[in-house]
Amino acid sequence: MKPIASHALDSVIPVSGKSATHPIATAISSGIESSDHFVVRNGIEFAGTHLIIDLWEAEHLDDMEFMASTLHEAVDVCGATMLHLHLQHFTPNYGISGVAVLAESHISVHTWPERSFAAFDIFMCGNAKPELAIPVLKNAFKPGRINIAEQLRGVVDKP
């Protein structure tokens, strides 16, 4: 059965204190960023890092305020810039779906509280460090098990 959106629980979280012109994290020693925000790490040039993170046996998956706070923390720790956060509660299970739109790309989340499962998708370009979100998510949601896949997006073929 398809979840029915509860418009009363719809939430757009305003972002204060940051804008698209907010400076991002300084270059990391292992990477060089170009003017198009592609990076070179370990001799590979690419657009950004995409993490697919599955949390199992996780907690707080139906708490909108907790989710918003955790996503803000993850964005800050990664050295990214939050532009907009939109979270939606669904009934009857009160799962959350949402996206944090970043100057560097996005973080999306979908939760199934009845299965203690959350799916996070984190894509960041430039010098943002999406891998730093992993300890934030572990600490916040206390999963019993976590699966992580990494994909480098936009890998430039060398002649």
39-63 pLDDT, tens digit per residue, is 998 899 999 999 999 999 999 999 9
In contact, 103 and 81? CB cutoff 8 Å: yes
Total tally of structural domains belonging to the chain: 1
105 catalytic residue (yes or no): yes
6 catalytic residue (yes or no): no
3-state secondary structure of 128: coil
Domain that holds residue 134: 10-14+45-153
Catalytic residue among 37, 106, 110, 116: 110
Inside any domain, residue 4: no
Q: What is the average pLDDT across 149-154?
A: 96
Q: Which CATH number belongs to the domain containing residue 100 in this structure?
A: 3.60.90.10
Instruction: Output 110 or 22, whichever has higher pLDDT.
Output: 110
- What DSSP character marks residue 77? H
pLDDT digits (tens, 9 = 90+) for 20-42: 332 222 233 345 656 788 999 88
Low-confidence winner among 72-76, 81-85, 91-95 (lowest mean pLDDT): 91-95
Long-range residue pairs from 65-68, CB within 8 A, at least 24 positions apart, any chain: 66/140, 67/96, 67/98, 67/109, 67/111, 68/11, 68/13
Please state the separation of Cα 88 from the chain's center in Å: 15
Rounded Cα–Cα distance for residues 137 and 36 (Å): 29
Inside any domain, residue 64: yes
In contact, 83 and 15? CB cutoff 8 Å: yes
Question: pTM of this prediction?
Answer: 0.78
In contact, 41 and 138? CB cutoff 8 Å: no
110 catalytic residue (yes or no): yes
Catalytic residue among 105, 106, 108, 116: 105
Inside any domain, residue 73: yes
